[in-house]
Amino acid sequence: MEFLNKKTLVILIEVILLIGFTGWFVYKYEQEKRQFDISSRPAQELQKQDQDLPKREEEQISTPAVNIKTYRNEEWGFEFQYPEDWITKENTFGSYYSKFNMVVRPTVSWYSRFPVSVNIVLPEFPERSFRGVEKITSEVTLNGVLGVKYQYEFEGSQETAIILPFGEYKIILDTDDERYTDVYNQIISTFKFVK
């Protein structure tokens, strides 16, 4: 009888844990789904919602050009401006090819893996990475340095990468989600070499 009670108790605890985990998973899934639904709504629907907001709230919305921070890296010699409600994180991953990397990302709960990234790499890395990728290629000059811009689709997402010579390395400035194009363009337009 005592064995049966222990077994019943263990099964009951397992069921409670399973229900808790399932509830947590459904909650997280619904949050991400809601975030996706908001970003994929037609522009007219979002504009209509914006018109329904009280005027006072509309005035509190800031544009990236007004409220900005400057990121400056003395060691590698570059700087750029980004929205103050975004954060920077250095050396987010390790790779033989990457000598320095960073991500600029929103502070919201869900975002793509690399909303905007800066990656200083060995010179052979970009050529190997983009070999065989169907892409639109164009020349670009950034802060007086001639480079190449790739626009391509990867895993269903439109991505953009600018690759510039950077001493003995190459620097890649990219975004992995077209929803971040405005912030990416802001960073690109303010990017400067400071050495």
Run of H or E residues at 169: strand 169-175
Tokens of 94: 């390790």
**Residues 99-125 pLDDT 10s:** 999 888 888 755 656 688 899 999 999
Q: What is the pTM of this model?
A: 0.62
Q: State the pLDDT confidence band at 19, using cuts at 50, 70 and 90.
A: confident
Q: List, for residues 122-133, the tens digit of each pLDDT value.
A: 999 998 888 888
CA atoms within 13 A on the CB side of 30: 6
Q: How many residues does the chain have?
A: 195
- CA-to-CA separations, 193 to 5, 30, 113, in angstroms, rounded: 70, 43, 26
Residue 158, H or E segment: strand 157-166
Lowest mean pLDDT among 45-49, 72-76, 79-83, 184-188: 45-49
Which is more confident, 158 or 172? 172
